[in-house]
Amino acid sequence: METDISAKNKSNIKLQIWILIIGVVLLIIKFSAFYLTGSNAILTDALESIINVLAGSFALYSLIISGRPRDENHPYGHGKIEFISASMEGGLIGIAGIAIIGKSIYNFFHPHELSNLDIGIILTASSGIINYLIGRIAVKKGIQSHSLTLEADGKHLQSDAYSSAGILIGLLIMLLTGYQWLDNVLAILFGVIILITGYRILGKSVAGIMDEADYGLLDKMVIALSNNRSKKCIDVHNLRAIKYGSMLHIDCHVTVPWYLSVKESDEELNHIENTLNKLFENHAEAIIHPDPCLPLSCPHCLLDKCPERSVAFEKPVIWTLQNLMKNRKHSL
Q: pLDDT tens, 243-295?
A: 776 678 899 999 999 999 999 999 999 999 999 988 887 778 889 999 998 88
- pLDDT exceeding 90 applies to what percent of the chain? 16
pLDDT the model gives residue 7: 65
pLDDT the model gives residue 263: 93
Asked if 36 and 114 touch (Cβ cutoff 8 Å), the reply is no
pLDDT the model gives residue 9: 74
Count, residues in the chain: 332
pLDDT the model gives residue 291: 92
pTM, two decimals, is 0.63
pLDDT the model gives residue 275: 92
For the stretch 139-194, pLDDT in tens is: 888 888 777 778 877 887 887 787 788 778 878 888 888 777 777 787 788 788 87
DSSP-derived secondary structure letter, 319: P
Give the three-class secondary structure for 290: strand
Q: CB neighbours (10 Å) of residue 112?
A: 11
pLDDT the model gives residue 181: 79
β pairing state of 247-256 and 235-244:
antiparallel
For the stretch 212-230, pLDDT in tens is: 778 888 899 999 999 999 9
Contacts of 36 (CB under 8 A, 6+ apart): 115, 116, 119, 120
pLDDT the model gives residue 6: 59
The average pLDDT across 17-43 equals 87
Half-sphere exposure of 8 (CA within 13 A, CB side): 21
For the stretch 70-81, pLDDT in tens is: 777 877 777 777
Given pLDDT bands bounded at 50, 70 and 90, which one contains residue 5? very low
Q: Is the pLDDT at 18 greater than 60, yes or no?
A: yes
Q: CB neighbours (10 Å) of residue 109?
A: 7
Long-range contacts of 94-99 (CB under 8 A, 24+ apart): 94/194, 94/195, 94/198, 94/199, 94/202, 95/51, 96/47, 96/48, 96/50, 96/51, 96/194, 96/198, 97/191, 97/192, 97/193, 97/194, 97/195, 97/198, 98/191, 98/195, 99/47
Containing H/E element for 287? strand 284-292
DSSP-derived secondary structure letter, 61: H
Q: Is the pLDDT at 3 greater than 60, yes or no?
A: no
**Domains defined for the chain, CATH in brackets:** 2-209 (1.20.1510.10), 215-331 (3.30.70.1350)
Contacts of 132 (CB under 8 A, 6+ apart): 157, 158, 161, 162
